[in-house]
Amino acid sequence: MTRQRSPRRRRPDFSTNVRLAALRSILRFLVRIAPSLAAIVAEWMFFTPPPPRRSSGLALLRDAEPIGMVVAGRRVAAWRWGRGPAVALLHGWGGRAAQLTSFVEPLVARGFSVVALDAPGHGSSGRGRSSAPQFAQALQALAESVGGLHGVVAHSLGAAAVALALRDGLRVARVVLLAAAAEPPRWVERFAARFGLPPHVVDELRRRSERRIGMSWRELNVPVLAKGFEAPLLLVHDRDDLEVAVADASAIVAAWPRATLVETRGLGHNGVLRDPGVAVRAAEFLAGGVARCACGAPLETGRECETCQFERELFDRERRWAAVGA
């Protein structure tokens, strides 16, 4: 699960740099003449995901069963592979479901079905502003649409969304988090420094977003949320992650009652999504918490898988005749 090359940040192209420079100039001008308007623009920028990136995993989505959902009036794209207890895949900020398709084959091979979604504002879902609570709401809607989840694999901001969903009643047997941030609201500090926003504008940005989302930023603290969780956790974090410090992973694992931390090197923030060793380790961890039929197949409900039940009824003549008589 390690590579020797050093991870690098993705460099914005020329057009992106020009657009960011223009936005920076506009915000700094507004801060001087109309701070409230600057907060409105900054709040829109901070909560609007970047355009979706191309991903090699898009090809695998074409082989999946599409799941159409509408969550809070917005279209949310989702997909399903395989049969068996469902494991959900949830990307991070600016990501998409295609980024996690390396987890599909190891999970399907162990008898799971895999479901993945593009969170609101991301990928093939409806565009617009998004947030961790909206990620969590979409995850809960996906769980309901497939009849419940055995487990979930989530990356970056998606990990914080899983914590919110668990707090709000989502039930899963096991959780895998990748490059999880302990306090995502702290990202506003980096945003403010990048665009030259003074504290009073950031405070107004926060107040506006809290009114719109209906949740205080203080609530999105994963270690605080984790103290009451029962599902075992596997957290994978790369020591060379340039987006989220490994100290965040340590804080989450220290608070989560049944948690294991696996540290990698040389993968970076997004490389943990593509590494085959990480995918296999996650699949093995999730498989360790599932009930199984006598034949070894994972069970969604009951004591037998569908195949064994069919074979038993097929060769049980008395049961078959009793069913016909009834």
Q: Specify the residue for token string 């409806």.
A: 126
Query: Which three-class secondary structure state does DSSP give residue 147?
Result: coil
286: pLDDT strictly greater than 70: yes
pLDDT digits (tens, 9 = 90+) for 67-86: 989 999 999 999 999 999 99
pLDDT of residue 318: 62
92: pLDDT strictly greater than 60: yes
Q: How many residues does the chain have?
A: 326
In 3D, which of 60, 61, 50 has the Cα closest to residue 10? 50
Q: What is the mean pLDDT of the chain?
A: 88
What percent of the chain has a predicted confidence (pLDDT) above 90? 75
115: pLDDT strictly greater than 90: yes
Residue 50: C-alpha distances to residues 224, 240, 286 (Å):
29, 24, 31
25: pLDDT strictly greater than 90: no
Q: Count other C-beta atoms under 10 Å from residue 321's C-beta.
A: 10
Q: How many helices (H) and strands (E) does the chain have?
A: 14, 8
Residue 78 near residue 117 (C-beta atoms within 8 A) = yes
124: pLDDT strictly greater than 60: yes
Q: Please indicate whether residue 267 or residue 314 has the higher confidence score (pLDDT).
A: 267
Mean pLDDT of all residues in 157-171: 97
Residue 91 Cα to chain centre, angstroms: 4
pLDDT of residue 274: 95
pLDDT of residue 249: 98
Q: How far apart are CA 78 and CA 64, in angstroms?
A: 9
Q: Model confidence at 161, in pLDDT bands (50, 70, 90)?
A: very high
Q: How far apart are CA 22 and CA 3, in angstroms?
A: 38
What the chain holds in terms of domains, given with CATH numbers, is 53-188+202-290 (3.40.50.1820)
pLDDT digits (tens, 9 = 90+) for 178-192: 999 999 999 999 999
Q: Model confidence at 4, in pLDDT bands (50, 70, 90)?
A: very low
